[in-house]
Structure 1
Amino acid sequence: MNKDNYELLSLKDIFSHGKRSFVIPEYQRGYSWEKKQREDLLIDIENLFISSYRHYTGTIVASYKRTEEVEIYDIVDGQQRLTTIVILLAVIYNQKKLTVINQNELFSYFIATGVDKGNTIRKFSLNSLLDNFFYKHIILENQDNEEILTKSHFNISNAFDEFSIWLKETNYNHNEIYRIITERLGLLFYAPKDGAEIGIMFEVINNRGKKLSELEKIKNYLIYYSEKNNVKDLKTTIDSNWGIILKNLNQAGYTSNDAENSFLRNCWIVFADTNKSRSYYVYDTLKEWYPANDKTKWQTLKDFVLFLANASYTYQYIFGKKDIQEISKIEKKWLSYMSLHASIASILPIIIALFERVDNQEERGVILELLEKLNFRYYGSGIANRADTSQGDLFWYAHKFFNSYDNYNEEKTFIYDTNWLINKLKSFIESKAHDQLFIEYLTLDKDEDYDYYGWNNIRFFLANYEEFLRKKHDRSTDLCKILASQDKNAKNDYYHKEHIWARKEFSVTDDINNINKRRLGNFVLLEPSINISVSNDRVEDKIIEYFKKTQDQPDTYMLRELKSIFDKSLEEINSQRTKKTWKFWHELYENFLDKREEKLINFALNRWRVDSLKKEVKKIFIRSNTSHNNVYFFNKKEIEY
Structure 2
Amino acid sequence: MVLKQLAFQNSIASVLPLILAISFKVKETNKRVSLYQAVEKLNFRYYGCGVSNRADTGNGHLFWLAHHIFNHDSNPDWILSDILNFVNTRCNTETFIKHLTLDKDESGDYYHWGSLKYFLANYEVYLAENHNGIDDFTRYLLKQDRNNKNANFEKEHILAREENSVIGLDENGVPDVNKRRLANFVLLTPSLNKSVQKDVIYLKLKSYNESASKFSVHRSLGELTNLYGIDLLTQEAVGYTKENIVKFFDAREQSLIEFALKRWGISDKEKTLKFEINSLVENTEKIYKIESAEVIEKAIEHE
- TM-score class, shorter-chain normalisation, is 0.7 to 0.9
**Does residue 599 of the first structure (1) align with residue 267 of the second (2)?**
no
Structure 1 residues 635 and 569 mapped into 2: Cα distance closer, same or farther (>3 Å)?
A: farther
Structure 1 residues 569 and 619 mapped into 2: Cα distance closer, same or farther (>3 Å)?
A: farther
Does the 8 Å contact 1:349/1:398 carry over to 2?
A: yes
Per the alignment, residue 178 of structure 2 pairs with 516
Q: Deviations over 1:461-518 (max 9, x none)?
A: 0001111111122322122221101122321111110000000111113316110000
**Does residue 542 of the first structure (1) align with residue 229 of the second (2)?**
no
Amino acid across the alignment from 1:368:
Y
Does the 8 Å contact 1:470/1:555 carry over to 2?
A: no
Per the alignment, residue 245 of structure 2 pairs with 589
Amino acid across the alignment from 1:558:
S
More relative contact order in 1 or in 2 (CA 8 Å, sep 6+)? 2
SS of structure 2 residue aligned to 1:532: helix
Q: 2:64 aligns with which of 396, 401, 420?
A: 396
TM-score norm. by structure 2 comes to 0.87
Per the alignment, residue 110 of structure 2 pairs with 452
Q: Distance in 2 between matches of 1:353 and 1:557?
A: 38
Does the 8 Å contact 1:482/1:495 carry over to 2?
A: yes
In the TM superposition, what are the counterparts of 1:283-432 in structure 2 within 5 Å?
Answer: 333-385=1-53, 389-405=57-73, 417-432=75-90
RMSD: 2.6
Does the 8 Å contact 1:436/1:617 carry over to 2?
A: no
Per the alignment, residue 278 of structure 2 pairs with 623
Structure 1 residues 616 and 602 mapped into 2: Cα distance closer, same or farther (>3 Å)?
A: closer
SS of structure 1 residue aligned to 2:186: strand
Q: Distance in 2 between matches of 1:546 and 1:521?
A: 16
Q: Distance in 2 between matches of 1:612 and 1:425?
A: 17
Structure 1 residues 482 and 553 mapped into 2: Cα distance closer, same or farther (>3 Å)?
A: closer
Q: 2:138 aligns with which of 480, 486, 511?
A: 480
Does the 8 Å contact 2:26/2:75 carry over to 1?
A: no
Q: Distance in 1 between matches of 2:56 and 2:20?
A: 23
**How far off its partner does 1:566 sit?**
0.8
Amino acid across the alignment from 1:603:
F
Q: Which runs of 5+ in 1 are unaligned?
A: 1-332, 406-415
Per the alignment, residue 565 of structure 1 pairs with 227
Q: Which runs of 5+ in 2 are unaligned?
A: 299-303
Q: Distance in 2 between matches of 1:370 and 1:388?
A: 19
Q: Distance in 1 between matches of 2:14 and 2:296?
A: 38
TM-score norm. by structure 1 comes to 0.42
Amino acid across the alignment from 1:515:
V
Amino acid across the alignment from 1:517:
K
Q: Distance in 1 between matches of 2:95 and 2:122?
A: 20
Identity %: 38
Does the 8 Å contact 2:94/2:296 carry over to 1?
A: no
Q: Distance in 2 between matches of 1:380 and 1:593?
A: 23
Q: Distance in 1 between matches of 2:116 and 2:212?
A: 22
SS of structure 2 residue aligned to 1:486: coil
Amino acid across the alignment from 2:206:
I
Q: Distance in 2 between matches of 1:436 and 1:566?
A: 27
More strand by percentage:
1
In the TM superposition, what are the counterparts of 1:426-445 in structure 2 within 5 Å?
Answer: 426-445=84-103
Per the alignment, residue 529 of structure 1 pairs with 191
Per the alignment, residue 268 of structure 1 pairs with none
Q: Distance in 1 between matches of 2:231 and 2:108?
A: 25
The higher radius of gyration belongs to 1
**How far off its partner does 1:550 sit?**
2.6
Per the alignment, residue 299 of structure 1 pairs with none
Q: Distance in 2 between matches of 1:568 and 1:379?
A: 38
Structure 1 residues 569 and 600 mapped into 2: Cα distance closer, same or farther (>3 Å)?
A: farther
Q: Distance in 2 between matches of 1:359 and 1:636?
A: 38
